[in-house]
Amino acid sequence: MIGASIQKAVALLQMEKIVAIPTETVYGLAGNAYSPKAVSAIFEAKNRPSFDPLIVHVADSSRIAEVSREIPAALQPIIDQFMPGPLTVLLPKNEKISDLVTAGSDLVAVRIPANQLTQKLLQSIDFPLTAPSANPFGYISPTQAEHVEAQLGDKIPYILDGGACEVGVESTIVGMEAGQITIFRKGGTPIEDIEQVVGPVKVRAHSSSNPEAPGMLKSHYAPKVPFQVGEIKALMSKHVGKKIGVLSFTEIYPGIPAAHQRQLSLNGNLREAAQHLFAAMRYLDGQELDIILAEWMPEEGLGRAINDRLKRASA
């Protein structure tokens, strides 16, 4: 059921039920972070492996202390500058956060979403929410309430509709490793923006198993149709005779039906491209194609996060 009632969402969450919620990045599947029952229901609904940790959402920076023992001094300027927003920080967890949430890690991933509806929701409850993306594990993340309903509508009692997500890719995850500020997942806050605040940072590659942060698995965000990334014309020559879908940055490709193409930003805007990415992938995945061909984005700004998602969708 899709609706815009914060009161209904609050009531369900207080009963340890799970609810889909909007954020500026993607829609999340939320439950009481202190409730093993609710957290287990999230894993079950998503068919998510228990070794993949979850992100905990709080209303504001004053409530980080509800889930974490401390904030490393080096991360405080990042929190001050980019939260609320599409950023997650890895912090030492406190005793209220179970190993089920963190997949046994002593670190908890914490985020303050900027979406106004979810902000009101978080301010209306006295517990934090754990909320991975509201999609079956490994599949394309949802950026509209209707995407959630199509994938998980029969498994969750309520979808809080906040409209289309403004950012469109998951949050950047940042933490400390060997005393150095480290990016564990590229996402909606560009690495260049973070480096303007704290200087050069280390960027981690994804993990193929036992990830140290949410969203680090090698294969993720994938459509059901085979998906390849590279130079589109060269890839097309390898798939002559097949029903091809094309996901490009700006270019329209002659010879491919318009209904089988999606351009992420005709004017070459990477923020617009990120906003459209998952919806475009989802659309092409529903067109009865033999293969979807995508091209790399410029490796700068949000292009780096988009390329990360394209790489893992094709893994």
What amino acid is encoded at 61 in this protein? S
Task: Find the angle CA(313)-CA(136)-CA(186) to the nearest 5 degrees.
Answer: 45
Q: State the architecture of 2-75+88-168 in CATH terms.
A: Alpha-Beta Complex (3.90)
Q: Which pLDDT tens digit goes with each residue over 3-30?
A: 999 999 999 999 999 999 999 999 999 9
Contact 198, 172 (CB under 8 A): no
* pLDDT in the model for residue 214: 73
Every domain of the chain and the residues it spans: 2-75+88-168, 227-313
H-helix or E-strand containing 221? none
- pLDDT per residue as tens digits for the range 173-192: 999 999 999 999 999 999 99
Superfamily holding 227-313: Threonylcarbamoyl-AMP synthase, C-terminal domain (3.40.50.11030)
Contacts of 307 (CB under 8 A, 6+ apart): 296, 297, 299
The DSSP bridge pattern shows strands 244-248 and 227-229 to be unpaired
Sign of CA dihedral 9, 11, 14, 15: negative
Residue 289: name the closest of 239, 242, 238 by CA: 242
Q: Tally the C-alpha atoms within 13 A of residue 140's C-alpha that lie toward its C-beta.
A: 25
Give the global pTM. Answer: 0.90
Length of the chain: 315
Asked if residue 137 has pLDDT above 70, the reply is: yes
Q: Which residue intervals of 83-160 are DSSP H helices? A: 99-102, 116-123, 145-152
